[in-house]
Each structure stands twice: as C-alpha cells, then as structure tokens.
Amino acid sequence: MAEITDTSEFESPLYRTALAQLDRVAARLSLEPNIHERLRHPRRALVVSIPVRMDDGNTKVFRGYRVQHSTVLGPTKGGLRYDADVNLGEVTALAMLMSWKCALAGLPYGGAKGGVRCNPRSMSVTERENLTRRYTVEIMLVIGPDHDIPAPDLGTDEQTMAWMTSCTLSTRQHATSASRSAGNASSSRDSATSGASRPACSGVRAV
C-alpha cells in the first residue's frame, strides 16, 4: 500500500477514511501504482484568511479552504460549507469523494470542495454576506465555469451562491474595464486611475 509522506496538513478522521477506502479499491482493481499514488493527493489545496468587519465594529479573521482533487475528467465541482468544525483534511476528503461520484456517474468533472470555519447560525445576514464576498475574492483565481464550480452545502444556500456570483461578475467586469481604460492611449491618466480605484465587489471592505 502506498504511504503518504506527510499527513500533518490534512490530518482528520474523514481524510484517513477516504484514503483507506481508496487503498482498498486500488488493491482490488490492481490499480497501476503511480496512478494510485497520484489519486491519494489533491491537485490543489488553497488556504485563505478572511478578515470580516463584524456588526459590533470589530474585525474577525476566519479560515477558508478550497481544494481541487482531480482535473483529469474536466473542471472541478463541489460544495461550499460553513461550519465550526471545517478543516483542511475534511475538505480534502470530500473533494476526493466528489471525484469518485463524478467518475461513477459519467460526468465530465473532477471533485472539489470548499469551506469556511465559522458558525453561520451566530452571524447576521450582513456578516455572512461580507464573509462570502471576501472569501470569493480570495479564491477567485481558481474558480469559474471552466475551472471550478462551487455549489451549496452545509451552512450555505442559494443566497450564498448569489453573493458569490455577484462578487465574481462585478470584480471581473471591473478588471476588464480597468484594463481597457489603462490601455486606451486617448484616455487621460486621471480617468484610468479613477476607474482602477472603484471597489470591485460591493460589500468587501479593506481590512
């Protein structure tokens, strides 16, 4: 059986279970060892800090994750969960399981999963919105319809996805407009600077 060299970053009961299941199936299928070893590790694991201005005026920094297990079949897809017990190992295991689900269902996607360690039930709507928008900004480089497609999960819903979509679209439209302004020789320096300074994602505050 293949041995992962260092499990410290991913340590969790669920991750150990996911690896044990993979190892048993790999042995039964006589899976080629190099493929087996590759599948035991996520392709990409992103850890981000999410500063949020709370309703009482204080800033609280949350820990967020987005893990993409495999892109062999196509873009990744997977849920986003908000829960006090979210950790990197759990998210990695769930991304791995999503890869198996997509493959068994014949879907052209790989598995991914995201999460933020928080208690959404103790947060106001405004706090959850600001958390979601800031998290979206932090992971924006690795998500999108051709890369990774988030979906609701534990502690999130269609409103969470709407905030993510709104933030992504407004930020990317802003970046495109700013790029065009900066590249237009007939535009003045003041107008280009003004366009680049507008907030891209409503609700995200610089902290």
- Residue 2's pLDDT is what? 43
Give per-residue pLDDT as tens, 151-166.
Answer: 999 999 999 999 999 9
Q: Where are the domains of the chain?
A: 43-197
- Residue 203's pLDDT is what? 56
Which of 60, 77, 101, 113 is labelled catalytic? 113
Phi, psi angle pair for 47, to nearest 5°:
-115, 130
Which of helix, strand or coil describes residue 45? Answer: strand
Label residue 203 left, alpha or beta by phi (over 0 means left) and psi (-120 to 50 means alpha): left
Give per-residue pLDDT as tens, 100-130.
Answer: 999 999 999 999 999 999 999 999 999 999 9
What average pLDDT does the structure give for the chain?
A: 87
- Full-model pTM: 0.82
Please state, in angstroms and as integers, the Cα–Cα distance from residue 161 to each residue in 5, 17, 136, 157, following that order.
36, 29, 10, 7
Q: How far apart are CA 57 and CA 182, in angstroms?
A: 36
Find out if CATH 3.40.50.10860 is the number for domain 43-197. Answer: yes
**Nearest residue to 174 (alpha-carbon basis) of 123, 137, 120:** 137
Q: Is 113 a catalytic residue?
A: yes
User: Does the pLDDT of residue 181 top 90, yes or no?
Assistant: no
Please state, in angstroms and as integers, the Cα–Cα distance from residue 61 to each residue in 49, 51, 118, 135, following that order.
6, 4, 10, 11
